[in-house]
Amino acid sequence: MGFSALVMKKTKINLALISPNYNRYSETFIQAHRNIPGVYVSYYYDGALPANLEGYGRLIGRKPMQKVMMLLISRLLHGGLTLREYSLARSLRLEGIKCVLAEYGGTGVAVLPVCKKLDIPLIVHFHGYDASIYDTLEKHRDGYIQLFVYAAYIVVVSQAMKQKMLSLGCPEEKIIYNVYGPDDSFFKVSPDYREKILIGAGRFVDKKAPYYTILAFSKIVNRHPDAKLIIAGTGVLHNSCHNLVKYLGMGKQIVLPGAVSPSDLKEYFKNARAVVQHSITAANGDMEGTPVVVLEAGAAALSVISTRHAGITDVVIEGETGLLSDEHDVEGMAENMDIILKDRGVALKMGQNARNHIRTNYSMQRHLQKLSDIIKQSVKH
């Protein structure tokens, strides 16, 4: 660690940011938490009970003898902790961690015994599936109850998620409603709305139902033969959607480029007229939190054509910053696409409204500052 980093670590609150994944392309909201003001972040990753610390490597030694020694120590001096729990506890002590921010409910459950053992405040940030998938809720039913008792705060990203936490038994005073913020660079995007291009971006999974977006576009493309639909992302439904596009004979009008970088997404936004996403509640209960692409679209002065689902209704003002239809209503989404494609003026007006709305109410600075505030409050307690 360099001298400047050491000084920073001593003058800020040492925070352990724990994420199951290192840098998944669809989890930009977690990467943004590396920049919470007033804290020095130690980034733990690889599993709900993390196996690695960025800049350090594996928490458990690779050599068999190292593992045996750590296991003996964990049993003799830290009864009740597993080897992996002990390795995390040891690292948190060495790093001087004062607070833990766990990304996803399952991560919070996994690190709870360690935080209890060390008497370290724990904040758990829920994001979507961890508050909605039926099997996940059943698996963590008892763990969530224990989590709600110990955790300093539970962060949610939609009003629907807040109601779910309340129904699971979380005290209302511990729940912090804190929607994500888009990266500030999206506010610099300047679309001209001339091209009839609709953009979607996200994982090809059930709750995002990209096939519905494709079907909706197919219903109005005859009215707009010069229109194009681009849906970026990858996932289990990607090949099926490719096949659907091929079956519809729309390979020239519908493009599925795979995963794209944030910089590439901004380039797509420059030429777009609106952002589209047909979010639904999946058969297994999986729901969105608040899709980051909806916030990024608004910041980039693009209206949103989407569904009345989870946090989307919190951040999109119907008829002013976007157009919404019910889940599974392909005809309704198609008509909303038509409204935007046939009138550039509507797209421009709604896009500007969206930018003002997101800048005022959902900036990244506001999102990160709220996290900073509750981290400071947790440490004080």
Q: Determine the pLDDT at residue 149.
A: 98
Residue 118 φ then ψ, to 5°: -95, -5
Please state the CATH superfamily assignment of the domain spanning residues 3-180+363-380 in this structure: Glycogen Phosphorylase B; (3.40.50.2000)
Q: Give the distance, in angstroms, between the CA of residue 346 and the centroid of all CA atoms in the same chain.
A: 29
Give percent above pLDDT 70 in the chain: 92
Question: Model confidence over 110-119: pLDDT tens digits?
Answer: 999 999 999 9
Q: What three-state secondary structure class fits 103? A: strand
Question: Model confidence over 205-232: pLDDT tens digits?
Answer: 999 999 999 999 999 999 999 999 999 9
Laid out side by side, the sheet with 99-103 consists of 57-58, 52-53, 39-45, 13-19, 99-103, 122-125, 153-156, 175-177
At 1, the pLDDT band (50, 70, 90 cuts) reads low
Same fold, 3-180+363-380 and 184-361: yes
Please state the CATH superfamily assignment of the domain spanning residues 184-361 in this structure: Glycogen Phosphorylase B; (3.40.50.2000)
Q: What is the largest CA-CA distance in the chain?
A: 74
Instruction: Kindly tell me if the per-residue pLDDT of 310 is higher than 70.
Output: yes
Instruction: Kindly tell me if the per-residue pLDDT of 63 is higher than 80.
Output: no
Q: Where are the alpha helices (DSSP H) in 155-304?
A: 159-167, 210-220, 238-248, 262-270, 292-299
Q: Determine the pLDDT at residue 31.
A: 93
Task: Provide the residue ranges of all domains of the chain, joining segments of one domain with +.
Answer: 3-180+363-380, 184-361
Q: Determine the pLDDT at residue 295.
A: 98
Q: Where are the alpha helices (DSSP H) in the chain?
A: 3-11, 28-32, 64-77, 83-94, 105-118, 134-139, 141-150, 159-167, 210-220, 238-248, 262-270, 292-299, 312-315, 330-342, 344-361, 364-380
More confidently predicted of 311 and 26: 311
If you ran DSSP here, which 8-state letter would residue 322 be given?
A: E
